[in-house]
Amino acid sequence: MTNLAALKQECTAAVEAANDVSALEEVRVSTLGKKGRLTEVLKTLGTLPADQRKEFGAQVNVIKEEITALLEARRAVLNSAALDAKLAKEKVDITLPARAESKGAIHPISQTIEEISTIFADMGFTIAEGPDVESDFYNFTALNMPPSHPARQMQDSFYLASEPAVAGTAEQGEPLVLRTQTSPVQVRTMLSTKPPIRIIAPGRTFRCDYDQTHAPMFHQVEGLLIDESTHMGHLKGALMDFLRTFFRAPNLNVRFRPSYFPFTEPSAEVDIGCSRKNGELKIGEGSDWLEVLGCGMVHPKVLENCKIDSTQYQGFAFGMGVERLAMLKYGIPDLRTFFESDLRWLRHYGFASLDIPNLARGG
């Protein structure tokens, strides 16, 4: 009859000697597998006299359970040792600071768009985009500016030849225009998305204008929020929070002045408090005002043009000029310099590649 004590000792020693998971698996197969040593012993049960069979079988089963438990425990030890070894091998020293690129810089326009987006992202707005070449419908008509509307003269537009130059941007034969504002992205978003809507749309815009404060191509960020209950108070709160964060001035004075835009009713222009002394502009102090953006409650006609039920839904919209905000925040005196590609200018006003906008720091 097999010496069970010796067998148990040998199996135990084999388990303990296994140095990795595959060696351990071999031990398992050679003890508990189909032809394993303990399995073979169990097979001999039938040859034993009936009076010994029961007790011997019970003893073998106890050993089997003990070895199984030992195998499990050893496997856990080996697995954790293997993980430790892997982690030690893949160790990365994250304390080493990354070096900012010494060549090249982030353009102030890109930086400012990032800053604006970061602040609105924190309020739950997502980014929407639209094409630079727009159809007359999206840029004007849907925004409550039908062909004869005088407000069209507020913006000197660049029109393209009437045949659609870019597939998919216009109905056949509709005049194409370089978008004069980012507001058409509102229309595209409302036509393609069910409310609630909460987007901002940064992008290029074009107008036939060129002087110290106007360029034929410039950037805007549009905002749109549509749901069932948002009102003018929310608009004021959101824009005040935005401006105070953007200009890093928690006590910045913000004023809403009645104004007119065809696509909002009521409409307002927003001014921030500043001082203009000895030709020097300081934001956040003094008793002067400076206009920074336009806004209002989305006109019911615009909602209807965009297939949104104006008896159920309402919301606000706003639009701001990126260059203007960048000039004010970073003290850049001439708009034209943004687009002159002068490397000395970029080195002076540009941002290091790791200067990522950060709300804790104020955008």
Q: How far apart (Å, rounded) are the C-alpha atoms in residues 7 and 193?
A: 73
Looking at the Cβ atoms of 203 and 294, the one nearer to ligand DAH is: 294
Task: Write out the two tokens for 60.
Answer: 């073998």
Q: How many CB atoms lie within 10 A of CB 208?
A: 13
Q: Name the minimum Å distance from CB 275 to ligand DAH.
A: 26
Q: Which residues fall within 8 angstroms of residue 329, CB to CB, at 6 or more apart?
A: 112, 246, 247, 283
Q: Which stretch binds ligand DAH (CB under 6 A): 24-32, 96-104, 133-141, 313-321?
A: 313-321
Out of 295, 302, 325, 327, the only residue in the binding site for ligand DAH (CB under 6 A) is 295
Show the site string, 176-215: x = touches ligand DAH by CB under 6 A, - = not: -----x-x--------------------------------
Are 299 and 144 a contacting pair, CB within 8 Å? Answer: yes
Tell whether residue 157 is a contact of ligand DAH (CB under 6 A). no
DSSP letter (8 states) at residue 155: S
Q: Which stretch binds ligand DAH (CB under 6 A): 114-122, 279-287, 312-320, 340-348?
A: 312-320
Strand partners, 157: none
Element (H, E) at 199: strand 197-206
Q: How far apart (Å, rounded) are the C-alpha atoms in residues 276 and 281?
A: 5
Q: Name the minimum Å distance from CB 264 to ligand DAH.
A: 4
Looking at the Cβ atoms of 36 and 184, the one nearer to ligand DAH is: 184
Tell whether residue 136 is a contact of ligand DAH (CB under 6 A). no
Task: Write out the two tokens for 24.
Answer: 């351990």
Q: Which stretch binds ligand DAH (CB under 6 A): 7-15, 29-37, 56-64, 317-325?
A: 317-325
Residues 252-291 that bind ligand DAH (CB under 6 A): 261, 264
Q: Which of 322, 301, 303 is nearest to 313 (CA)?
A: 303
Q: Which residues contact ligand DAH by CB under 6 A?
A: 181, 183, 222, 261, 264, 294-296, 317-319
